[in-house]
Structure 1
Amino acid sequence: MAAAQGPLRVGVLGCADIAWRRTLPALAACPDTELAAVASRDEAKGKRFAAAFGAPRVQGYEELLAARDIDAVYLPLPAMMHAHWVAKALRAGKHVLAEKPLTGDAKSTDELLALADSQGLVLLENVVFPHHSQHARVRRMLADGAVGELKDFTGVFTIPPLPDENMRYDPDIGGGALLDMGVYPIRAALYYLGPALDVLHAVLRIRSRTGAVISGRILACTPGGVTADLAFGMEHSYRTGCAFAGSSGLMLLDRAFTPPPPLQPLLRVERQDHREEITFPADDQFGNIVRHFAHAALTGSSVHDQSEMSRRQARIIDDVRRVAVRIEVP
Structure 2
Amino acid sequence: MTQVRLGVLGCAGIATRRMLPAFAAAPSAHVVAVASRDHDKAEQVARQFGCEPVTGYEKLLSRHDIDAVYIPLPAALHASWTERAIGCGKHVLCEKPLTTSAFQTERLVRMADEKGLVLRENFMFPHHSQHEQVRRLIDSGVIGKVCAFAAVFAIPPLSKDDIRYQAELGGGALFDVGVYPLRVAQYFHGPDLAVRGASLRYDHGVDVGGEVLLCSRDGVTVQATFGMEGVYRSSYDFWGSAGHLRLGRAYTPAADHQPHVQLWLRDEEREIVLQRDDQYTNAAESFARAVLTNAHGEGDSQITALADLVDRVRAAAARA
TM-score under structure 1 length normalisation:
0.95
Match of residue 13 from structure 1: 9
Letter in 2 for 1:301: A
The alignment partner of 1:296 has SS state of helix
Query: Which residue in 1 is equivalent to 2:300?
Result: 307
1:279 matches 2:270: no
AA at the equivalent of 1:16: A
Partner Cα distance (1:107, 1:146) in 2: 41
- Aligned-pair distance for 1:326? 8.0
Identity across aligned pairs (percent)? 47
* Post-superposition offset of 1:303: 4.9
Secondary structure of the 1:182 match is helix
Once the two structures are TM-superposed, the CA of residue 224 in structure 1 deviates from its matched residue by 2.1
Question: What secondary structure sits across from 2:182 in the alignment?
Answer: helix
2-structure distance, mates of 1:325, 1:174:
17
Correspondence for 1:294: 288
Contact persistence 2:100–2:170 (CA under 8 A):
no
Q: State the shift of 1:32 in Å.
A: 1.2
Quote the offset at 1:318 in angstroms: 0.5
Contact 2:79-2:104 at 8 Å conserved across structures: yes
The separation in 1 between residues aligned to 2:108 and 2:273, in whole angstroms, is: 39
* Contact 1:215/1:232, CA 8 A, preserved across alignment: yes
- Which residue in 2 is equivalent to 1:269? 263
Question: Deviations 1:55-99 (Å, cap 9, x if unpaired)?
Answer: 123231000000011000000001111000001001100000100
Q: Structure 1: which 4+ aligned runs deviate by more than 3 Å? A: none
**1:47-62 correspondence runs (5 A):** 47-62=43-58
* 1:96 pairs with 2:89: no
Q: How far did 1:141 drift?
A: 1.1
Structure 1: gaps spanning 5 or more residues: none
- The residue that corresponds to 1:318 in the other structure is 311
**Structure 2 counterpart of 1:320, one-letter code:** V
Please show how residues 143-292 of structure 1 align to structure 2 within 5 Å.
143-207=139-203, 210-292=204-286
Could you list the per-position Cα deviations for residues 132-170 of structure 1 after superposition, in whole angstroms to 9, with x for gaps in the alignment?
000011011111112111111110100010011100001
More displaced, 33-42 or 125-134? 33-42
Classify 1:187/1:287 alpha carbon distance in 2 versus 1 (closer, same or farther; 3 Å): same
CA contact (8 A) 1:204 1:326 kept: no
Query: In 2, distance between residues paired with 1:218 and 1:166?
Result: 25
Alignment of 1:53-92 (within 5 A): 53-92=49-88
Alpha carbons 1:203, 1:326 under 8 Å: kept: no
**Counterpart amino acid of residue 183 in structure 1:** V
How far residue 195 of structure 1 moved from its aligned partner, in angstroms, is: 1.2
Count of aligned pairs = 320
Structure 2: state its 5+ residue gaps.
none
Partner SS for 1:181: helix
Distance in structure 1 (CA, Å) of the matches to 2:134 and 2:173: 27
Q: Residue type of the partner of 2:216?
A: T
Q: 1:270 is matched by which residue type in structure 2?
A: W
1-structure distance, mates of 2:258, 2:296: 30
Q: Distance in 2 between matches of 1:152 and 1:42?
A: 49
Return the alpha-carbon distance in structure 1 between the equivalents of residues 177 and 40 of structure 2: 29
Give, in whole Å, the separation in 2 of the partners of 1:326 and 1:280. Answer: 42
SS of structure 2 residue aligned to 1:57: strand
Matched-pair contact (CA < 8 Å) for 2:156–2:229: yes
